[in-house]
Each structure stands twice: as C-alpha cells, then as structure tokens.
Amino acid sequence: MQLLEDASRRAMAYLESLESRAVRPHPDAVARLDRLEVPVPQHPTPDAEVIAQLDEFISPATMGMAGPRFFGFVIGGSLPVTVAANWMATAWDQNVGYDAATPGAARIEEVSRRWLLELLDLPRDCALGFVTGATVANFTALAAARNAVLRRAGWNVEADGLFGAPPIQVVVGEECHPTLLKSLGMLGLGRSRLTRVPVDSQGRMRADKLPKLSSPTILCLQAGNVNSGAFDPFPELIAGARDAGAWVHVDGAFGLWARASKLLAPLARGLELADSWATDAHKWLNVPYDSGLAFVRDAQALRSSMAITAEYLPDQGARRNPSDFTPELSRRARGVEVYAVLHSLGASGLSLLIERNCAQARRFAEGLKAAGFEILNDVVLNQVVVSFGDAERTRRVIEAIQEDGTCWAGVTVWQGKTGMRISVSSWATDDEDVEHSLAAMLRCAKATE
Ligand SMILES: Cc1ncc(COP(=O)(O)O)c(C=O)c1O
C-alpha cells in the first residue's frame, strides 16, 4: 500500500508541476530516454524503484497535455474527479464484458448511457458502446450501419462477409477526418471507394452538391471539423437522405458536446435525426485516455454486429451486456469516469465548461486579430486557425512558441494556407492561462519578424 501512496504522491506532484513547467518536454529529458534501452531485466527490481524510475525518466519527458496551456490537436485534460474515479476503477480491475460478472461496472455504464442521451438530446433508446476513442466509435457505429443497410438488401454481412454482397454507396464530405476513412477501410468499405461531396470555405458539406442517394447507402456527416470546428448543415442533409433509405452517421468527436450547451446547441441542430453518432469522452468531457462513445439508434443493428455467445460465457440476463455493443470482449470499465464527470459537473457544469472553452477560443482569435494576424476560420466553437504570414514565417513562429514553452499549439494547412491550430478543450484552462498564452504567442511572433 505504501507503493500506491508513493505513486499517488508522485502523480499529484506531477500535476502540480504543470502550472509552472514548460509545456513541451525539454530535449534533454527526451534524450535521457535512451538510458531506458537496457537489456531485459534478469532479476526482480523492488517495486518502489520501478515507480521512482518511471517518475524520474517519464514525467519530465511528457508533453503537458493534462495542464492548462496545451492547445494542440483536440486534447482535453482530466478533471480531478475523473482521475480519482480512474484510480478506483483500476483498483477494482473489472473486466466489464458481462453484466452478470461485473454488475457494478455494467450498471454505471447503463446509468451513464441514460444521462448522456438526455444531455446530448439524442433518441433516448439509443444503444451505446464505450470504446477507446472516436476512431473506434466511428468504426463501431459504421459496423452497425453496414449491418443494417445490407440486412435491408437481404444480406447478412456478419455471416457471409462482403464477398458478393450488394455494393454499398458510401458518401463522405471532402473534409471528413482521416480516421473516418480508416474506419471505413477496416470495415471493408474502402478508404478510397467513396463518393466525396465538396465542402464550403469552413469545411461544411454542401447540401446542393449531395448526389442522388440510392439504397444501400451510408452518408457520413461531421459535427466539428478538426481545423475550423464547423458543423455540416444537418437539417438540409439528413431528412432527404433518410427518405432515400440511407443510414446517416455523424462523426462528432468533439462537436457533439455543443449539444450540452443551450447557447451552442443550435450549431448541431438537426443531427438528432441521424442513425448513429461517434464522439470522444477523452476530448471535451475531460476524462483520462482512452475513452470514446458510439451511439446507435437501432440497438439491434449494433448488437448484431458486435455480440457473441460461447458456452463458457455468462447467459444474457435481462440487463444490458456491455460487450454486446463494443468490438472488445474484455476491456476496462470506462463508464466509471464518464459517470464521475457527469455526476460531478451536472448539466450546468458541463454546459459551462463547453461555453467557457469557446469563449476562450474567441478571446484568442480577437487578441491575435488585434495584433494584425489573420484568423483563417470562422470561430464558431473551440477551434482557431491563425496565420502569422506566409507558410515559412508561420512555421517559424509556431516553432518559437513551442520552444518558449508557455503553451503548445501545432501546425496545420487550412484551405491551402499554413496556420497554427489552437484548440481550447481543457477544464484546466482559465482566462489567465489564455492571456498568458496569448502574450507568449505575440512575443514569439514579434521575435521572428
Ligand atoms: C472529427 C474527428 N473525428 C475523429 C477523430 C479521431 O479521434 P480519436 O483520436 O479520439 O480516435 C478526431 C480527432 O481529433 C476528430 O477531430
């Protein structure tokens, strides 16, 4: 037990250090990782020494993603209650495949499912799979889509595979996330064998360019473009598609959370009419990695694509079996942290978190624009793309900002222009962090003039 106390002391010291240390790990700390490249240990090492070594070598070589001034990719922090819940869940070490075997961990998923559907205002009887992230949530939901559209065409894809199956028309926007294409590839639907619909200047699918849909069809839409934060025009796109017999899927890795705020929900209006939705909990819900959510309106389609039976496994009882809805049979109890954050924040706290991050993104845009830099996107959510001049200068400024260490943001190319992406997605970011980071960005930009 002393070991666990020591580890929690070290973890807390690490979290406290994030306020003052450089966000990017120092190159010396990264270079010291080479010292871990030793031959396989032939004899035991005391546990305390193993933990001390992890802290000594890995803590300084981490990126400060859990801290308040990390704005790269789309990365949430972890609210303290979720870290604590994660520690409890790790101690319980439940394999949450079956309700009969792990009733506590299974029930907490069921409660979280009900709460999430209400908070996101999705159809209340949707099935939900607790998976590792949006990539796998897309995969999971699209497996249900594949099942359903082929079943309607008289084909059982789980039994007979795709060989000889009726061809499925898969429609995506030009600006869909690359992991969506990966998910389609893993499902045998092809990364390239797609109909790509042109998008507008914000990356939104153009409804006037949607081709005529013929069954069996899967239409993939997006809530929250990874660069601009823009939302596809759901009302125009979804009704017609469903009338044509298409399955409509929405990748809402972070944008789906807009629906938890009354102010922002209009951005995502109409997506509740889709058939399935993917999102991340490890982004804007601020739970530890890894955690994603796959919602599917047709529970039977998801169960048909995921559930298994075996003599040694428990019988299906009356309650929801977690593994009937996920690609994995064995997995950790991800619902515990989701439950903890929803319970701790409540609807009002969640809404405030989302709104605060969006206001902080607007403040970044306003401050950078006031200093003469071009904002390349309409800042509708938590994403800002800024240009510091031509591609070469923008890249130099980004490198200087990363090296400065006050904050961290990465490079992108948006609509043909090189820019820096700022994603504000963490509970830990307060308004002072934004001012402090903005000042650092402007200082670095000036220094590279
Ligand atoms: C729109 C979108 N879809 C999917 C993903 C993939 O999410 P994950 O890395 O959690 O699997 C992302 C990641 O940023 C995203 O922004």
Q: Is the CB of 229 under 6 A from ligand 1?
A: no
Contacts of 193 (CB under 8 A, 6+ apart): 170
Q: Is the CB of 278 under 6 A from ligand 1?
A: no
Identify the weakest region by mean pLDDT among 31-40, 157-166, 305-314: 305-314
With a pLDDT cut of 90, the percent of the chain lying above it is 95
Q: Is the CB of 134 under 6 A from ligand 1?
A: yes
CA of residue 338 to ligand 1 center, whole Å: 18
Q: Whose CA is nearest to atom 15 of ligand 1?
A: 253
Residue whose structure tokens are 């069996």: 216
CA of residue 254 to ligand 1 center, whole Å: 8
Question: What is residue 313's predicted lDDT score, i.e. its pLDDT?
Answer: 76
What confidence tens digit (pLDDT) does each residue in 364-377 have?
999 999 999 999 99
**What is the residue type of 55?**
D
Strands 276-280 and 195-197: unpaired
Q: Is the CB of 253 under 6 A from ligand 1?
A: yes
What confidence tens digit (pLDDT) does each residue in 184-234 have?
999 999 999 999 999 999 999 999 999 999 889 999 999 999 999 999 999
Question: What is residue 215's predicted lDDT score, i.e. its pLDDT?
Answer: 82
Residues 84, 23, 429, 397: what is their CA dihedral angle, to the nearest 10 degrees?
-160
CA of residue 247 to ligand 1 center, whole Å: 21
User: Is pLDDT at 127 greater than 90 in this prediction?
Assistant: yes
pLDDT-derived band at 240 (thresholds 50, 70, 90) equals: confident
What confidence tens digit (pLDDT) does each residue in 268-311 have?
999 999 999 999 999 999 999 999 999 999 999 999 999 987 77
CA of residue 315 to ligand 1 center, whole Å: 35
Contact 122, 272 (CB under 8 A): yes
* Mean pLDDT of the region 130-142: 98
Question: What is residue 309's predicted lDDT score, i.e. its pLDDT?
Answer: 78
Number of H helices, E strands in the chain: 13, 11
SS3 240: helix
* Mean pLDDT of the region 126-155: 98
Q: Encoding tokens for residue 174?
A: 């030009």
**Mean of per-residue pLDDT scores for the chain:** 97
CA of residue 138 to ligand 1 center, whole Å: 9
What confidence tens digit (pLDDT) does each residue in 98-111 have?
999 999 999 999 99
CA of residue 177 to ligand 1 center, whole Å: 7
d(CA 250, CA 193): 19
* Mean pLDDT of the region 146-169: 97
Q: Whose CA is nearest to atom 2 of ligand 1?
A: 253
Question: Could you say which DSSP state residue 408 is in?
Answer: B
If you write DSSP's letter for every residue of 161-219 in order, what string do you get?
-STTPPPPEEEEETT--HHHHHHHHHTTS-SSSSEEEPB-TTS-B-GGGPPPP-SSEEE
Helix (H) or strand (E) holding 118: helix 103-119
Helix (H) or strand (E) holding 7: helix 2-17
Of 276, 280, 289, 425, the one to substitute when testing ligand 1's pocket (max ligand atoms within 8 A of C-beta) is 280
User: Is pLDDT at 249 greater than 80 in this prediction?
Assistant: yes
CA of residue 447 to ligand 1 center, whole Å: 34
Q: Is the CB of 228 under 6 A from ligand 1?
A: no
CA of residue 118 to ligand 1 center, whole Å: 23
Question: What is residue 314's predicted lDDT score, i.e. its pLDDT?
Answer: 76
Q: Is the CB of 226 under 6 A from ligand 1?
A: yes
Q: Is the CB of 179 under 6 A from ligand 1?
A: yes
Class of residue 347 by CB neighbours under 10 A (exposed 0-12, middle 13-18, buried 19+): middle
Q: Is the CB of 280 under 6 A from ligand 1?
A: yes
